[in-house]
Amino acid sequence: MPERGWRAWRGWRLWRLWPQSLLGRLSLVMVAGLLVTQLAASLIWSAQLRTKAEADTRAASQYLGQGAAGAIRFFRSLPPSYRSLLIQQFREMGGTRFFVGLNKAYVPVPGIGGQALAHTALSTLEATLTADLRPAGPIRLGFAWPDQLAVSPDGVKVGELPESWVRHILLLKPDPAPVLVIQTELEPGNWLYLATLMPNPYFLNSHDPLSTDRLVPQALSLAAVLLLSILVVRSITRPLAALSDAAEAFGKDENAPALPESGSREFVNTARAFGAMRERIARYIADRERLFISISHDLRTPITRLKLRAELLDDDALRQEFEEDLDELDMMVKGALQCVKDSDIHENPAEVNLDALIRRLVRSAELAGHGVAFGGTPLTVRAKPLALKRAIGNLLDNALFYGERAEVSVRGVDGWIEIAVRDHGPGVPEDAFASLLQPYVRLSHGRERNDGGMGLGLGIAAGIIDGHGGELVLANHPQGGLNAVIRLPA
């Protein structure tokens, strides 16, 4: 994968991991901050523990080395025949700090690997013994776990010895402790075997920041801080969620309860500002409704007279078309001042037969002398009939005004129904698409062809389609002209 593509893919994956909610983002930031702080504190603490543990280990090893040097000098001073008797007396008395044994050869000790403190202890012990014992002779040092430690060349393990012999050098509960073994050759063929515990038997764990006794308090404190942080973040974001729900309910013309004026000062101010805004919008909508009622009342008389005159027509088909147009006009005048959602107030959604609706528009255009190509469709869509008719009619009018002839097609694509209206005009410049749906925006070609237009048709159509959960897509057709596509949920 190229470097640029890899970076883009990695950035996309990181963006997907980034929470989309404010609660998730604040929680993630606080959790990450606490974890980083805990990690930094643990690293500093670990460095301090390591320094202290190394100093304590050197001091304990030096003290233990001095004691071991004294024991070695004592056994060197004894005649070889007395040493075994003295060791037997030590064992019968209950043992000493050191388990003492005599062997004919060096006993291999399986060492403990990967422990820096063990290496520090052994190096300090070796330096102390070498300095105290002159001549030192061969000295072998090592740490071993009790279950792996042999005390004689024939393989006898320390755990197989009588308990009274090793009570001071074995620590198996609650956790096995490493055993220090010192072997030195007193004379050729006579090796002194000393085994003991360090003053701090568990010195290997003294600098471990991940030990259980340290991790449990840290984990509990971290969990408590995280819980409190999440509760605080949730208390901050809950009013925002309530504000979002109230705004959505108000946008759907639902009677949502007023926001409680409680919480932080900023939210109280926001709730008051939102309540005042909602009241102003409600008054504006009420004034607009009264205006619609006034317009409807003023136009009801002339519409009624037109209906009466339509009844006097002898041509039944013509009379029916007049009555349908007057019924449509009666509905449309109530929303005549709206440019975006003309029929949302007065009309309910219903199953609309697109073939019948479009054929009526095509027939009206043909009666006006325009050419419209439409092959028919069996598809239906759930929509507000008059609103959808006005949206398609606006697109068709634009196509006929600015392109002389139009083509209408309907198809179903991946859960959507697409109604395409294409004209055969000059098309639209690419830099003009961004402002094409704004009200009162007209291109030079449109002003030349239609002086009476106001540039509201596309904006009204886009608003109606958006109210149906669809979208209006405008693009130049590859073969020329503008192609306006209405996409509605199937």
Separation CA 61–CA 199 (nearest Å): 8
Cβ pair 333, 295 in contact under 8 A: yes
Q: CA geometry: angle at 358 spanning 353 and 361, to 5°?
A: 135
CB atoms within 10 A of CB 413: 10
Q: Which pLDDT score, from 0 to 100, does residue 343 have?
A: 40
Amino acid at 24: G
The percentage of the chain sitting over the pLDDT mark of 70, rounded to a whole number, equals 77
Cβ pair 128, 66 in contact under 8 A: yes
Cβ pair 22, 240 in contact under 8 A: yes
Return the half-sphere exposure (C-beta side, CA atoms, 13 A cut-off) of residue 489. Answer: 7
Separation CA 35–CA 109 (nearest Å): 42
Q: Which pLDDT score, from 0 to 100, does residue 210 have?
A: 60
Separation CA 113–CA 122 (nearest Å): 12
pLDDT in tens, 327-346: 777 766 654 544 444 444 45
Only one residue has tokens 């974890």, namely 35
pLDDT in tens, 101-129: 888 888 888 888 667 788 888 889 888 88
Q: Which pLDDT score, from 0 to 100, does residue 251 have?
A: 63
Separation CA 387–CA 218 (nearest Å): 64
Burial (CB count <10 Å: 0-12, 13-18, 19+), residue 343: buried
Strand bridging mode 350-353 / 380-383: antiparallel
Cβ pair 464, 483 in contact under 8 A: no
The residues spanned by each domain of the chain are: 25-205, 262-337, 339-489
Q: Where are the alpha helices (DSSP H) in 78-109?
A: 80-92
Q: Which pLDDT score, from 0 to 100, does residue 340 have?
A: 40
Domain 339-489 in the same topology as domain 262-337: no
- 339-489 fold: Heat Shock Protein 90 (3.30.565)
List 412's β-bridge partners, or say none.
417
Q: If you ran DSSP here, which 8-state letter would residue 336 be given? A: T
pLDDT in single tens digits along all 490 residues of the chain: 455 555 555 555 555 666 666 667 777 777 788 778 878 877 787 788 788 888 888 898 898 888 888 888 888 888 888 888 888 887 777 667 788 888 888 888 888 866 778 888 888 988 888 888 876 678 889 888 888 888 888 888 877 787 777 776 666 566 778 888 888 888 888 888 988 888 887 777 766 556 666 677 777 877 887 788 778 777 777 777 777 777 777 665 556 667 777 767 777 787 788 778 878 877 887 776 676 666 666 676 777 777 777 777 777 777 788 777 777 777 666 545 444 444 444 567 888 888 888 888 888 888 878 888 888 788 888 888 888 888 888 888 888 877 778 888 888 888 888 888 888 877 777 766 666 666 555 565 555 555 444 456 777 788 788 878 888 888 888 887 888 888 888 7
CB atoms within 10 A of CB 3: 7
Q: Which pLDDT score, from 0 to 100, does residue 274 have?
A: 77
Distance in Å from the first CA to the final CA of the chain = 40
3-class SS of residue 84 = helix
Only one residue has tokens 């449309």, namely 332
Amino acid at 393: G
Give the pTM.
0.45
Q: Which pLDDT score, from 0 to 100, does residue 490 have?
A: 78
What is the CATH architecture assignment of 262-337?
A: Orthogonal Bundle (1.10)
Q: Which pLDDT score, from 0 to 100, does residue 277 have?
A: 83
Compute the residue count for the chain.
490
Q: Which pLDDT score, from 0 to 100, does residue 347 have?
A: 67
